[in-house]
Amino acid sequence: MTTPKIIDDPLYQLLREGQTGVFNLRREAGDACDLRGTDLSGLDLRGLDADGLDLRDCYLRQADLRGVDLSGARLEGASIAGAKISGAYFPAELAPEEISLSLLHGTRMRRRHGEPDGR
């Protein structure tokens, strides 16, 4: 398991500062952000446009993901221990059991066997 990292990327820093709306606008304008393996624990990510985000191996412990549509994000290897997920949508390739185990025990989520990567 890799240690979650805090990076200097300006878009990542916007998320850490609670500026999800500005993050979304910057991405919409074409700014790229590599969030793979980053520490997003405890952040309020409500309102995040997660479509196309690579959140593999991210640490989302106790993050507020309520209402976030994560169905178009990459979440393999991410951990959501103790996160608030009411109303969140998850990728179809993640089995409900994987999501539950990650939420309750902090395990890293894995795609269902036989599911194509798709991205």
Number of structural domains (the chain) is: 1
Alpha-carbon span 48 to 22, nearest angstrom: 10
Mean of the per-residue pLDDT values for the chain?
Answer: 93
Tell me how far CA of residue 84 lies from CA of 41, 55, 116, in angstroms: 11, 17, 28
* Residue 93, in any domain of the structure: yes
* Residue 50, in any domain of the structure: yes
Alpha-carbon span 16 to 57, nearest angstrom: 17
* Residue 78, in any domain of the structure: yes
The pTM (predicted TM-score) of the whole model is 0.90
* Residue 119, in any domain of the structure: no
pLDDT of residue 111: 87
* Residue 66, in any domain of the structure: yes
Range of the domain at 55: 1-113
Share of the chain above pLDDT 90, in %: 87
